[in-house]
């Protein structure tokens, strides 16, 4: 499960300039879970395994504070930042 605590990226329709994309596995060929930008935190997202790919893209034009997320894997709920 990935949980976003902070999220502020450039906002534009389609998230074409700055975005975070989530994939349910180690590569972009795995299921696409979502693409997010702006100031609305993405929803808590559960993966089907202990692997999650987070892709961050920025055009370095309009800045934001960025994002902070935790990834919980397995029953121990260890926090990875």
Q: Which is the CATH superfamily of the domain at 2-71?
A: Spermadhesin, CUB domain (2.60.120.290)
**How high is the mean pLDDT of the chain?**
89
- 8 A C-beta contact, residue 19 and residue 35: yes
- 8 A C-beta contact, residue 5 and residue 48: no
- More confident: 80 or 36: 36
The string of pLDDT tens digits covering residues 63-79 is 788 999 999 876 655 55
Q: How far apart are CA 26 and CA 67, in angstroms?
A: 20
- 8 A C-beta contact, residue 2 and residue 79: no
Which residues on adjacent β-strands are paired with residue 19?
Answer: 57
Torsion 49-25-36-65 (CA) sign: positive
pLDDT at residue 37, as a whole number:
96
Q: What mean pLDDT do residues 9-17 have? A: 91
What's the pTM?
0.84
pLDDT at residue 78, as a whole number:
56
pLDDT at residue 60, as a whole number:
84
């Amino acid at each position: 499960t990935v949980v976003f605590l902070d999220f502020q990226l450039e906002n534009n329709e389609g998230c074409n300039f700055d975005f975070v994309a989530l994939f349910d596995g180690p590569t972009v060929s795995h299921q696409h879970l979502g693409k997010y930008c702006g100031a609305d935190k993405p929803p808590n997202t559960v993966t089907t395994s202990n692997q999650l790919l987070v892709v961050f893209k920025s055009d370095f034009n309009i800045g934001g504070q960025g994002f902070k997320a935790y990834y919980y894997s397995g029953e121990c709920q260890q926090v990875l930042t």
